Amino acid sequence: MRVVVLLLLFSMYTGSISIAQDADRSGGRDRSSERGQRRGGRGDTSDSVIESGYVFIDGHYIRIPYQIQYSDSEVSINESTFELSVFEGWLNEKKKRNGGSDDRGRRVHRNLRDMLEGDGSLVLFDGEPSQVFNMSASYDLLSVLVNADSREAFGNGEREWLPTGVDQQSWVRWIGEFKCPEELRERADSFLTKIEELESTNDAQQSARRMLESSAYPLTVVGMLLVVMAFGHLLSFKPDSDAVKSLETQRAVGRSLTLLVALSALDLIWTLLVSRAGDMKELNPLGAAFIDNPVALILLKTVATLTAVVLLFVLRQHHVAQKGAWWGCLICTLLTVRWLTFNSMFT
């Protein structure tokens, strides 16, 4: 009897699981059909709203947001509709391997959305193919539209950023007569400032990387020499409580502190070079707060190191100061070994 009851309970439990799973699957199908109905409510069309990027139609700036709709034959941006043939560059590109069923309208819509979300610019003139400017080229376009000096240079022939095949005289006439709206000026100024800061940071990193590459060998040689000297010193001298006040012990403390200063200076130079090259992230919270300000970091490192060295030297007759100097030298030696390993791996 007990076995029969257990079998009945087991069948009821498995049946409830099956019902719940069927309900989940049914709900999944319902949700999928709802999404399909939302996507296909207007036939084979879809739309998205984008609040970034820059669109110019027939010489006029179009204010954000951009509502982009597409179908199998055309794409519309806000109130303007264009045939898909206008975007021939995107239509001729190879389909992605994972998008073999992608249709022409969806491909144009996807590329247009990605370009605008990446702060790109789109220029459309009636009867002409679209001209797409990704971030770097968008910087050049917006510069001549909002900056008088850049516009004058463009009129004098600095047009290397223009796409091939465009009518340059028409563009010179359009840009020369363009009246920049205030909204475009505010948005463009923010975008241009961001790009200039990125370029400045990149230039600084490239310069620091070249300096790091040129100084890697001499720094490595100096580091290896200091490590050999430090290990030799540390092995030959270990603080002994029985010889605290001996002259030789006090001299050994002085050698420990001298090596500590030299190794700390090498660590500071390597930290500045590698961090400015963008090849490391400072994990020390105190150092990370000053890593972007080399002068402040140098002052912090110098004051902290010299303060500790002076205190240990003044108290060199005490066993605690002797042990502190020995351990400080050991830590800086191991830190230099870490730098040598890092340098050998990435140079």
Same domain, 163 and 237: no
Using pLDDT thresholds of 50, 70 and 90, give the confidence band for residue 142: very high
Look at residue 26 and tell me if it is in a domain.
no
> Averaging pLDDT over each range in 131-140, 160-169, 256-265, which range is the top one?
256-265
Q: Which residues of 222-259 are buried (b: 16+ CB within 10 A; e: fewer)?
A: bbeebbebbbebbeebebeeeebeeeebbebbebbbbb
* CA distances in angstroms from 217 to 212, 228, 270, listed in the order given: 9, 17, 12
One domain, residues 329 and 221: yes
pLDDT at 221: 92
Contacts of 162 (CB under 8 A, 6+ apart): 168, 171
Q: Are residues 129 and 223 in the same domain?
A: no
Residue 155 lies in a domain: yes
Look at the chain and report how many structural domains it folds into. Answer: 2
The answer to whether residue 136 sits within a structural domain is yes
Phi, psi of 103 (to 5 degrees): -95, 170
Local structure of 178: helix, strand or coil: coil
Q: What is the pLDDT of residue 324?
A: 93
CA angle 11, 15, 16 (to 5 degrees): 120
Whether 273 maps to a domain, the answer reads: yes
DSSP bridge partners of 80: 77
Contact 110, 104 (CB under 8 A): no
Check residue 282 and give its pLDDT: 66
Domain assignment present for 41? no
pLDDT at 44 over 70: no
- Do 283 and 245 lie in a common domain? yes
Shared-domain flag, residues 171 and 226:
no
What 8-state DSSP symbol labels residue 59? T
Token pair in block for residue 155: 């009129």
Q: Is the pLDDT at 242 greater than 70, yes or no?
A: no
Q: Could you give the strand order of the β-sheet that contains 121-124, starting from the edge strand earlier in sequence?
A: 60-62, 54-57, 121-124, 131-133
Residue 93's pLDDT is 58
Cα–Cα distance for residue pair 322/325, rounded to 1 Å: 5
For residues 62 and 143, state if they share a domain: yes
143-157: average pLDDT = 89
State the pLDDT at residue 347: 57
Looking at residue 202, what is its pLDDT? 82
Domain annotation covers residue 91? yes
**Given 161, 180, 199, which residue is the final one in a domain?**
180
Closest listed residue to residue 291, CA positions, set 312, 315, 275: 275
266 and 306 co-located in one domain: yes
Q: From CA 175, how far away is CA 147, in angstroms rounded?
A: 11
Average the pLDDT over 242-268 and give the result. Answer: 86
The DSSP string of 124-174 is E-TTS--EEE-HHHHHHHHHHHH-HHHHHHHHTT--TTSPTTS-HHHHHHH
pLDDT of residue 243: 57
Domain of residue 124: give its range: 46-180
Q: What is the mean pLDDT of residues 21-33?
A: 38
Same domain, 169 and 108: yes
Please name the residues in contact with 168: beta carbons below 8 A apart, sequence gap of 6 or more: 159, 162
List the one residue out of 305, 298, 303 whose CA is nearest residue 331. 305
What pLDDT does 22 receive? 40
Decide if 11 is inside a domain: no
Return d(Cα 238, Cα 322) in angstroms, integer.
Answer: 9
Res 244: pLDDT: 60
- What pLDDT is recorded for position 346? 60
Same-domain pairing of 122 and 240: no
Quick one: 214 and 167 in the same domain? no
The model's pLDDT over 114-131, given as tens digits with 9 standing for 90+, comes to: 999 999 999 999 888 899
294-344 tens-digit pLDDT: 888 889 889 999 999 999 999 988 888 999 999 999 999 999 999 898 877
Model pTM? Answer: 0.58
Interval 283-304: pLDDT, tens: 667 666 777 788 888 898 899 9
User: Closest Cα partner for 343 from 269, 262, 256?
Assistant: 269
Specify the pLDDT at position 184: 92
- Phi/psi-derived region of residue 119, left when phi > 0, alpha when psi is between -120 and 50, beta in every other case: left
Q: Is residue 100 part of a domain?
A: yes
Q: Are residues 312 and 220 part of one domain?
A: yes
Of the candidates 66, 19, 72, 16, the one whose C-alpha atom is nearest the C-alpha of residue 44 is: 72
What lies within 8 Å, CB to CB, of 223 at 6+ separation is: 266, 336, 339, 340, 343
Q: Please tell me whether residues 220 and 174 are part of one structural domain.
A: no
Least confident of 100-109, 134-143, 160-169, 331-340: 100-109
Residue 2 reports pLDDT greater than 50: no
